[in-house]
Amino acid sequence: MEIGSFLIVFFTVRYIRNSLQTAERFPEWDRMLTIVQYAATALLVSDVFLETDFTKWFWHLLLIGLVGAAYLLKDFRPVRNVWLAVGPFILISLFGDVVELISEDFYKSIKDIIDIAGIFAFIWLIATWLSSQKQQKALEKERLKRQQEEEQNRIIASQNAMLEQIVAERTAELTRQKEELEQTLMELKATQDQLIQREKMASLGELTAGIAHEIQNPLNFVNNFSEVSVELIEELKEERQKADRDPELEDEILTDITQNLQKITHHGKRADSIVKGMLQHSRASTHEREPIDINNLADEYLRLAYHGLRASDKSFNATMLTDFDDKLGRVSVVPQDMGRVLLNLFTNAFYATEQKRKTGLADYQPTVQVMTRRIDSENIEIRVRDNGCGIPAPVLTKIYQPFFTTKPTGQGTGLGLSLSYDIVTKGHGGELIVDTEEGKFTEFTIRLPT
């Protein structure tokens, strides 16, 4: 029984120290528990060597003291279950020793019962101990699990806070970028409007030289016929002062003056139409369609484009071939817009032939052809073909892109064909088709619904 008491004291003390972690949390109690372990060892040695029954009462005191401390002391409350495990063994051991002290005969008669009860109490102790260890492991596992969950929650909360901060920073950055992009878009739109206006003014500049040449011809006729008419009037006055007036000569002079005045009127109207065309081309488009003669419009802008290039380069020369369909009739278009399209195509055609001429090809004659055709009752087409250098295949898909140009810097805005494409397709519901072979020809076809 003493060995059992020693084992119980030893493992109970160890259980209490480990469970409560007395070395770190309760150093005073840890020292006392260590003394209890030494005392139990000393009692065991006394039992072995002294062979006295007196020490068994010290075992009872030690056990009752441990269980009482575990049950009564506040610091030991977490290990109160030690009473459930050790209590039955203490009670049976104490009961046996008290009965033996009072009546040895009676003790002998129930000794077997007390021994069996002691065995069961010891088994109960072990079972309770194992169960307690299992529960303690489960609780420790649960505590660790809860601790891990708390750590994970803390990490998640930290990550969420970090993500919220990142999202807030990213949102602020995107907002800033959005504002910058909106500002950039506004600036690009303003720049685009300026470039479009620049393209219009560039085409107007190309017209100026051609118009100067075109308007000079009728003005020369007006001046010449005016001078001749003045001379004829003087001649008529002189004839009337003669005594032998010749009525037939007077009638002939009057007829010549009348014809001169008719020619002056004709060429004056021609100059007036040129000026009106220039003003119409320079002003902003109203997008109002008018039924006009496409043949006259194409012929006029062809000559203006040609003389415009001649004014800037006296060495430039090209053959102009026209094949206009007399049955074309009047077509409803926006005159200034369609004029810009034709001027751009004619200017590009003359430019392409001039670039090919500068390569020094023998027997090369720059030629630009303009043809109009009525396809059917609802559609017409205008073809502008040149025998210039053609368009390289790699850039063919880019020619209608805004700001794309193959001309040297300063000679093109890259908006001519882009604006022309928009005017034909979006403004008039037509088509602008290109057919080309590098080094041989380029042909643009405008198809318009009538």
Q: Model-level pTM?
A: 0.48
- What's the confidence (pLDDT) of residue 321? 94
Task: Give residue 224's pLDDT.
Answer: 75
Of 95-109, 189-203, 333-347, the range with the lowest mean pLDDT is: 189-203
Three-state secondary structure along the chain?
CHHHHHHHHHHHHHHHHHHHCHHHHCHHHHHHHHHHHHHHHHHHHHHHHHCCCCCHHHHHHHHHHHHHHHHHCCCCHHHCHHHHHHHHHHHHHHHHHHHHHHCHHHHHHHHHHHHHHHHHHHHHHHHHHHHHHHHHHHHHHHHHHHHHHHHHHHHHHHHHHHHHHHHHHHHHHHHHHHHHHHHHHHHHHHHHHHHHHHHHHHHHHHHHHHHHHHHHHHHHHHHHHHHHHHHHHHHHHHHHHCCCCCHHHHHHHHHHHHHHHHHHHHHHHHHHHHHHHHHHHHCCCCCCCEEEEHHHHHHHHHHHHHHHHHHHCCCCCCEEEEECCCCCCEEEECHHHHHHHHHHHHHHHHHHHHHHHCCCCCCCCCEEEEEEEEEECCEEEEEEEECCCCCCHHHHCCCCCCCCCCCCCCCCCCCHHHHHHHHHHHHCCCEEEEEEECCCEEEEEEEEEC
Q: Comparing 171-175, 216-220, 290-294, 329-333, which segment has the lowest mean pLDDT?
A: 216-220
Confidence of residue 102 (pLDDT cuts 50, 70, 90): confident
**What is the per-residue pLDDT across 197-243, written as a single tens digit (0 to 9) for each?**
665 565 555 556 556 656 666 777 777 778 877 887 887 787 778 77
pLDDT of residue 382: 94
Give the model's pLDDT for residue 446: 94
Of the two residues 387 and 270, the one the predictor is more confident about is 387
With cut-offs at 50, 70 and 90, classify the pLDDT of residue 322: very high
Higher local confidence (pLDDT), 319 or 198: 319
Asked if pLDDT for residue 313 goes beyond 80, the answer is: no
Q: What is the pLDDT of residue 320?
A: 93
pLDDT class of 447 with cuts at 50, 70, 90: very high
Is the pLDDT at 98 greater than 60? The verdict is: yes
Percent of the residues in the chain that have a pLDDT greater than 70, as a whole number:
73
Q: Which of 129-133, 250-254, 430-434 has the lowest mean pLDDT?
A: 129-133
Higher pLDDT: 390 or 243? It is: 390
Q: What digits encode the pLDDT tens for the residues 3-61?
A: 656 566 666 777 766 676 777 777 787 787 777 777 766 666 666 565 555 566 666 67
Hey, what domains does the chain have and what are their CATH numbers? 2-155 (no CATH), 288-450 (3.30.565.10)
